[in-house]
Chains A and B, each alone.
Chain A
């Protein structure tokens, strides 16, 4: 993972003044981006660097925002981090660049109620068809009490 080269590349293609980089344990770096720049950043990584492997996308409800983490791997970990406000959780899909992201986006869509604009098939992946409990990984979700009466 050639981090300085990747930072230089992202700085060049994105209209962001300064990219925020965090270091995580076990050889992983994360770069924070605005959600609007995410698609362009992934495109730049695929077209102009050796990074191609998206390990997964993590979605989480943290500090009043829905945070998405795109974990890449190329001889070391690289995470692109972006935050969406809870009222406006939509972001452009990256399945046109990386078809393998399809399942990860579908999972986040149902678990955290995020809309991936342009995703070809944003149907449920894991939750049952008759699920009405709301997005389970949102902060306000409480586990249903499934004990029967009299127990």
Chain B
């Protein structure tokens, strides 16, 4: 006799921070099958952007994601600038990259907190989110916004760093680095966390390649991809990025990769500030974009982000396609869930760092 049961997780569920629907089929305590339905926060952004000008779209694309808003406009601006043939001043590129790296720190710490909460480890949730505040404070000091910064413009950035800000930011970065080092130490040695995450949600390098998974999930399975190093967009050509890798391929490895990445990002932030070139931060961009098409890629906190932009010569884009990194990892959930216990479903779902608003657009 079969004792199969189908349990819905979502669209509204304490486990999920955004609406998404999973139907998991269990046999006793084991998950045997799962199906996924997206679209609960689909806003039709790809269609809507065709009715707005390139400048208006900056504000639209910033709202694709509530966590990594800056990298969306970075990728978009980079594409439009390439179509226009604009050369962004080095100071502008450095500041743009600085925000990207701060955003990565804030995103990874946010994720660590969510993982802690989902496995019932409230302490790490409290600590990670407390420390994340520092990254948000720095971003607020730079741009005036904590989450949506409206910092990028086509042709550069609208912010600048003065002498007083410089020393304040560097001291905050040093403080934050010490705190993240401490968190990394906890992840490495705290038994509660290891027991809940080790061996859960395993993905082999072959699966990563077959499903075209990107970002920390791929790197935690030993697939060495990072567009910051491989593509050298924005100011990454001036920087040396040490890519964090792990080979275990489970949720614990993903935790380690993200924590190490956060520390590396803080190092890059300091390097960017110290080596900040003099000069203007932006150049003026024309309203109309010459006909053409471009594929713009960047490494968002969750992995490769892609914008395809086609211009027909007017002041509005003819087509913009956005592929966010979460979509790639969502495909793997079915494989990861197979055979895990129901109590570990939350760990698997946390492990890939879901951003549903990103995936739905």
A contact set with B: CB distance below 8 Å: 24-28, 52-56, 58-60, 62, 69, 71, 73, 75, 77, 79, 98-104, 111, 124-128, 136-137, 141, 143
State in angstroms the CA–CA spacing of A24 and B310 once bound together.
11
Pick the residue among A71, A100, A128 that contacts B306 (CB under 8 A).
Answer: A71
Say yes or no: B46 contacts A137, CB within 8 Å: yes
Contact A26-B294, Cβ < 8 Å, known A126-B42, A136-B44: yes
Q: Which residues in window 41-62 of B have CB below 8 A to A?
A: 42, 44, 46-48, 51
Interchain CA distance A141-B100 in the complex, whole Å: 36
A28/B295 contact (C-beta < 8 A), A99-B210, A102-B331, A103-B330 known: yes
Residue of A nearest to B39 (CB): A126
Residue of B nearest to A54 (CB): B212
Q: Which residues of A contact B209 (CB under 8 A)?
A: 52-53
**Which of B63-71, B75-83, B129-137, B179-187 forms contacts with chain A?**
B75-83
Contact A136 B47 (CB under 8 A): yes
- B151-159, B319-327, B347-355: which lies at the interface: B319-327
The answer to whether B38 touches A126 (Cβ under 8 A) is yes
Q: Give bound CA distance, A141 to B226, whole Å.
A: 38
In whole Å, how far is B50's beta carbon from the nearest beta carbon of chain A?
Answer: 9
* Residues of A contacting B230 in the complex (Cβ-Cβ under 8 angstroms): 75
**Which B residues lie within 8 Å of A77 (CB)?**
295, 297
Q: Does B328 sit within 8 A of A, measured CB to CB?
A: yes
Chain B min CB distance to A77 (Å)? 5
Inter-subunit contact B327/A98 (CB<8 Å):
no
Other A-B contacts than A52-B212, A79-B295, 16 sampled, CB-CB below 8 A, are A26-B79, A26-B82, A28-B294, A56-B308, A60-B319, A73-B304, A99-B211, A100-B211, A100-B212, A100-B328, A102-B331, A127-B39, A137-B46, A137-B47, A141-B47, A143-B48
Can you give 17 contacting A-B residue pairs, CB < 8 Å?
A24-B295, A25-B82, A25-B292, A26-B79, A26-B294, A55-B212, A55-B295, A59-B321, A69-B308, A73-B304, A99-B211, A100-B331, A124-B39, A125-B38, A125-B39, A126-B361, A136-B47
Docked complex Cα distance between A60 and B308 (Å): 11
Residues of chain B in range 296-333 having any CB-CB distance to chain A below 8 Å = 296-297, 304, 306, 308, 310, 318-319, 321, 323, 327-328, 330-331
* Distance (whole angstroms) from the CB of B337 to the closest CB of chain A: 16
The residue in B46, B230, B294, B321 that gathers the most chain A C-beta atoms within 10 A of its C-beta is B321
